[in-house]
Amino acid sequence: MDRICFRLRIRSERMAEYRERHAAVWPDMLRALERSGWRNYSLFLDPDGLLIGYFEAEDAAGALAAMEETEVNTRWQSDMAPFFEDDGSGAGPRFLTPVFRLEDQLAALPTDDPARPLTRPAYPGLETS
């Protein structure tokens, strides 16, 4: 599973409206994201306008390309463009390089390592294996 994280910057005067728009994303946009293979997609907005996006996909390049081909994405991107500060590059989101993943490092620990958790903590409402 590919994990993708990116950042953008929202114009300060548009942040409230940006939040409102994302409280009710167009249903056809939501379905297009799902059909394109986007999973666990989340956006996080800092009060200073920094927007962090994260999603997972079996094939991130394919999922990004599939969205680029949809008509609804073209409309959505056009509608959202005024919300973003532009650094002048026209490059769009800046993709971040992963440097740490807890699960990867835990999996690499020897099974007899006392620091390795033997069971995952139970969370109410979640099934554990």
Catalytic residue among 22, 31, 75, 94: 22
Burial of 10 (0-12, 13-18, 19+ CB in 10 A): buried
- Residue 49 to residue 15: CA distance in whole angstroms: 7
Beta strand pairing status for 94-95 and 2-9? antiparallel
Question: What distance in Å separates the CA atoms of residue 40 and residue 5, rounded to the nearest whole number?
Answer: 11
Q: First CA to last CA across the chain, in angstroms?
A: 20
Q: Is 3 a catalytic residue?
A: no
Residues marked as catalytic:
22
